[in-house]
Amino acid sequence: LKCHDAQKSMGASKGFEDWMKTIRRMNTENEATIPEPAMRPIATYLTLIAGAGGATGGAGEAAMKDTAKDNDKAGAEKAKADPQKVVAGRDAFNSSCISCHDADKSTSKTKSKGEWLSTITRMASKQGANIPAGSYDAIAEYLTSLSGAGAAGVGGVGASKTDSSGGGLSVSGTFSPTWRGGNDNLQNGGFFPDVWLTGNWNANSVLSGQVTACVSCHTTADGMGDRFELVEAKLRLDISSLFDACTRSGYKIAVEGGRFIVPFGAFSSQSNPAAYRTVSRPLIYNMGQRVHDGELGDPVLPMPYSDEGGSLSINRSLDGLANFGMVGYVVNGLQSDRNGINFDQSRDYVASNNSPSFGSRVTLGIEGLNLGGSIITGQSSPTGGFENIPDRFYYRIYGYDVSYKIPSLLRFQFEYARRDSDRAAPDPDSFRVGDRVSGYYLEGEYYSQLFQRLSYIARYDAQDRRSDYAPDESSIGLGALSVSRFTYGVNFNFRKAGLLMVNHERWNLPGGLERTDVLGVRWVYSF
């Protein structure tokens, strides 16, 4: 509307392909900046609103056709898109979905409306998600109009069996093979798999379940192969769906139980390799992709951090202008040995003590801006404690985060986290001492307006360790250690063929260790 009066476009009658040609031609004019990912939604909107006049084959014909084959039924079924619902779905998608995902990840997928409903229901059940229940159908309508599947058309790669309300079974997955090299002191260097597979079950709008397993850089006990890891195995009860008053007032209340990714920090919702946009994770959450691993000690909290327990989440839409979310949870918690928190031991499915840990996360989102704060605290020493150490070990982890997105243009994310935990002094007169590990990362991504599938990314992250004693495996002999890293690179979006990331990392290390360069390549494809 900066150059044209709305009536000039609304009064024209064109097919999808003709609108695409017009938009591309307009984008060549001086001062025109229409991002490539926005062209299809604009063309779809104009075709629906202004009148199709006859879509002219190709993607347009697939996107706008009124009939499509159903996966489970022979024959054809009417599938006209509702223009008003498409627009409402687009707005709901931009306000609720792209806080965790890049828009292209969804808009390039091809699924039927029933499959989109299943996907949206699954995404809405994740901790920290705040997608109003009343918007599911509109978002599905919008994404279906982009994907070209029709309301009952052929779906994507994943296997699913859904009904019109998004119920049933669905399977999704992520393949993310990674290569990192250029240094002899690199943890898990070379190629390693990063494969996630999720099965989701929706009995109805009230009860659902989810199981997620992964194979990544974790190895078996003998170190001879990759370890199969259970990330999630949980049931979810959507309490707000039982009470119309909750839905009308904008509340979404749910209870979860089982094994789940603990919602600490903004990155916990981005733990799946399909959700983050660099080759490796930030330093404060990184375990398995570091340099001089034993010398520098552990991160603040490895991601994903999965644990067994239960949670209660409350989300509220504030007049459509903002979203407020809060989750409280109780889990087995982190476990320790005499040298402090043992993250390998903490991955076990059974806790070594009878004392649960408690945590909470609070978020506020306003038009692309998201703010968050997190805390978790508990006892880490086993039942009965340690020999010759009368004191119990405790830990507390807290942090805050802020992110901001302008779709198809710019993304910014900052996060700080700190862990205070106990350990034993490594001398004959063992007694309890404290470790403090803290750090932050600042990450930005710019989406090229000239090469529409290309984006440029940069991240600076740092971690600081303060203790009277060095890490257990360190030969440096320093309790106070600081490490920083600068990462930069490019991301190329192949749309339906996935995302390719190429990064260069420059590590600044303590204790006389030389600066280290690491090259990394990661390809991610999800279905």
Provide the pLDDT for residue 262.
Answer: 96
User: What is the distance between the alpha carbons of residues 269 and 116, in angstroms, rounded to a whole number?
Assistant: 20
Q: State the pLDDT at residue 203.
A: 79
Q: pLDDT tens-digit profile of 167-185?
A: 578 888 999 999 999 888 8
pLDDT of residue 79: 44
pLDDT for the residue 486? 98
**What does the pLDDT read at residue 50?**
52
Distance, CA of 2 to CA of 179 (rounded, Å)? 45
**Per-residue pLDDT at 19 exceeds 50:** yes
Q: Answer yes or no: pTM beyond 0.85.
A: no
d(CA 114, CA 141): 10
Residue 347 CA, distance from chain mean position:
20
Cα(122)–Cα(124) distance, integer angstroms:
5
The tokens of 85 are what?
A: 């619902």
The residue that leads in pLDDT, 527 or 404, is 404
Mean pLDDT value across the chain: 79
User: DSSP E strands: which ranges in 2-149?
Assistant: 67-69, 76-78
Q: What angle do CA 285, 286, 292 make, to 5 degrees?
A: 135
- Distance in angstroms (rounded) separating the CA atoms of residues 152 and 65: 11
**pLDDT of 457 strictly over 50:** yes
- pLDDT of res. 150: 44
Q: What radius of gyration, in Å, describes the C-alpha atoms of the chain?
A: 25
pLDDT at 189 over 90: no
- 397-408 b/e with 16+ CB inside 10 Å = b? bbbbbebbbebb
Is residue 137 within 8 Å of 85, Cβ to Cβ?
Answer: yes
Instruction: Tell me the pLDDT band of 446, cut-offs 50, 70 and 90.
Output: very high
Q: Do residues 419 and 395 touch, judged by C-beta distance below 8 A?
A: yes
Q: Which residues, including other chains, have CB under 8 Å from residue 270's CB and lie 6 or more apart?
A: 100, 276
pLDDT > 90: percent of the chain: 39
pLDDT at 426: 81
- 132, 127, 140, 121: which is closest to 96 by C-alpha? 132
Compute the average pLDDT of residues 464-489: 89
Confidence of residue 149 (pLDDT cuts 50, 70, 90): very low
**Lowest-pLDDT range of 149-163, 260-274, 380-394, 442-456:** 149-163
Q: What is the pLDDT of residue 472?
A: 80
What's the pLDDT score for residue 444?
Answer: 97
**Phi-psi category of residue 108: left, alpha or beta, with phi > 0 → left and psi -120 to 50 → alpha:** alpha
Q: What pLDDT does residue 449 have?
A: 87
pLDDT of residue 505: 97
| Residue pLDDT, tens place only, 51-109 | 444 333 444 444 444 433 433 433 333 345 666 666 666 666 665 665 556 655 566 56
Tell me how crowded residue 24 is: count the other CB atoms within 10 A of its CB: 13
Task: Show the tokens assigned to 476.
Answer: 């440096």
- Collapsing DSSP to helix, strand or coil, 510 comes out as coil
What is the model's pLDDT at position 118?
A: 64
Q: Is the pLDDT of residue 525 over 80?
A: yes
pLDDT digits (tens, 9 = 90+) for 220-262: 555 545 567 899 999 999 888 777 655 666 788 899 999 999 9
CA–CA gap between residue 396 and residue 388 (Å, rounded): 24
295-321: average pLDDT: 90
Number of Cβ atoms within 10 Å of the Cβ of 203:
11
The residues that bridge with 78 in the sheet, in sequence order, are 67
Q: What are the φ and ψ backbone dihedral angles of 311, each rounded to 5 degrees?
A: -145, 155
Which residue's structure tokens are 């942090």? 399
3-class SS shares of the chain: helix, strand, coil, % to 5: 20, 40, 40
Beta strands 207-219; 76-78: pairing state:
unpaired
* 136: confidence class by pLDDT, cuts 50, 70, 90: low
Distance of CA 59 to CAs 44, 147, 203, 247, Å? 11, 9, 34, 37
10 φ, ψ (degrees, to nearest 5): -65, -25
Other CB atoms closer than 10 Å to residue 249's CB: what's the count? 11
End-to-end CA distance of the chain: 36
Which tokens go with 58? 């190709």
Q: Is the per-residue pLDDT at 162 higher than 70?
A: no
In this predicted structure, what is the pLDDT of residue 78? 36
Tens digits of residue pLDDT in 252-288: 889 999 999 999 999 999 989 999 999 999 999 998 8
